[in-house]
Structure 1
Amino acid sequence: MGEHYFASRPEAASRRRTVDLVLPDLHLRLQTDRGMFSPDRVDPGTRILLETAPSPPPTGDLLDLGCGYGPIALTLARRSPQAMVWGVDVNRRALALAEENASTAGLDNVRFCSAEEIDPGLRFAAIWSNPPIRIGKKALHELLLAWLPRLTPGGRAHLVVQKHLGSDSLQRWLVDQGFPTERIASRAAYRVLAVSARTQEGRA
């Protein structure tokens, strides 16, 4: 079931299909499957993020947090061929498909893995995410606090969140944690938030 896309090993029977991600600067044909986030189409929030956020840094390590089958990570890899892109997810089925999609697209500057497989000392010039809001507020906050401090000085994260799923309260919470955050786009009930590296210790 869709609500279990954040399971490590989805129980839903496999039923693969193909979806297309068409943006002004690229076209990716992606394999998807049941048991992962938005298997029937590229999620509208993901598309809005990719259409409205500024260009990713041309070099450095870039992170797609909650990568699913890879539309954000593969877009970053195509747009920044000299960068190394990391796609992180708990869903093993999604990670395997993301690797397959990268191979099909001919992209060799992207790696997909679980959080535990990334060097804990690695820092990121940018983090992009359509975060898994439905895991619950507490788990979401823990996830963001595990990764946002790993932005390099001057690095930024771009997050897309639906308004009715708490984009405005998330923005306030991020500011309270010491991460300067601004809304840079709003479309079809989605908000794109730009989060700067922490400049001070926020409130717990």
Structure 2
Amino acid sequence: MAQHYFDPDPDATHRPATVDLVLADLHLRLDTDRGMFSPDKVDLGTRVLLESVPAPPAHGRLLDVGCGYGPIALAMAARAPEASVVGVDVNRRAVELGRRNGRKNHLDNVDFYVVDAEGAPAEDPSGHAEPGAGTAPVAAALAGPFDAIWSNPPIRIGKPALHALLGTWLGRLAPGGTAHLVVQKNLGADSLHRWLEANGHPTERAASRAGFRVLRVHRP
């Protein structure tokens, strides 16, 4: 069966690799593997986002939705060392690498969690909660509110699932909070912009480059 980066438990044969995220203000070396999004290089959409967004809030709680092996969450953590950063994904293999990359890059203000499609702590394959997932601190970490969200969302899960995912996490923005989403134009960036506006999420185009849109979503 074909594997997708949004499969919770990819069984693709392991092929460990290392990629570099080099930006004007930081350099992160990241471990990757097969069975997750863009394992061979930091994808262009992520780079467009990270090169376009303003600095994250210096304090507070920040979120990366669909974190993969962690480039966006770790960039947030590096840029806002006094903030608390959370990365979430359904893909266990990716989340494990995100945790490893946080340790490898000495960023101790970031945590990564496996979540289900509803944004709740996921269960492991045996049917038990992930370690610590039932504790109050983890539940609070996932519940928000978040002062900022940065995301390269999983467009290929399909519109209904994508809309449900964004509705869940944008609903956890703090009042006055802002989300930045990067979406490829030919994969529906403009239609997503219209959907966000129509569903109570004030949105503007913050940047447009290399075939990608960066959408800024405000919570009043």
Q: What TM-score comes out, normalization by structure 1 length?
A: 0.94
1:125 aligns with 2:147: yes
Distance 2:96 2:11 in 1: 15
Count of matched residue positions in the alignment of Structure 1 and Structure 2 = 198
Counterpart mapping for 1:1-204 below 5 A: 4-115=4-115, 116-117=120-121, 118-119=139-140, 121-197=143-219, 199=220
Change (3 A) 1:121 1:87: closer
1:202 corresponding residue in structure 2: none
> Retained in 1: the 8 A contact 2:56–2:148?
yes
- Does the Cα contact within 8 Å between 2:3 and 2:10 map onto a contact in 1? no
Contact 2:148 2:178 in 1 (8 A): yes
Change (3 A) 1:2 1:183: farther
Kept in 1: contact 2:64–2:150 (CA 8 A): yes
SS in 2 for 1:4: coil
For the aligned residues, what is the CA RMSD? 1.3
CA offset at residue 122 of structure 1? 2.1
What TM-score, normalized to structure 2?
0.87
Aligned equivalents of 2:3 and 2:49: distance in 1? 22
d(CA) in 2 for partners of 1:108 and 1:143? Answer: 27
Residues 121-142 of structure 1: per-residue CA shift (max 9 Å, x gap): 4210001100000000000000
Match for 1:193: what amino acid? L
Misfit runs of 4+, over 4 Å:
none
Alpha-carbon displacement from aligned partner over 1:19-43 (angstroms, at most 9, x marks no partner): 0000000000000000000000001
Q: Which runs of 5+ in 2 are unaligned?
A: 122-138
Identical-residue share of aligned pairs (%): 63
Q: Given that residues 208 and 214 in structure 2 are in contact (C-alpha distance below 8 angstroms), is that contact kept between their aligned partners in structure 1?
A: yes
**Does the CA-based 8 Å contact 2:148-2:173 persist in structure 1?**
yes
Judging changes above 3 Å, is the alpha-carbon distance between structure 1 residues 127 and 65 closer, same or farther for their aligned structure 2 residues?
Answer: same
Mapped contact 2:149–2:180 kept (Cα < 8 A):
yes
Q: Quick check: 1:2–1:38 contact (8 Å CA) kept in 2?
A: no
In 1: Cα distance, 2:60 partner to 2:50 partner: 19
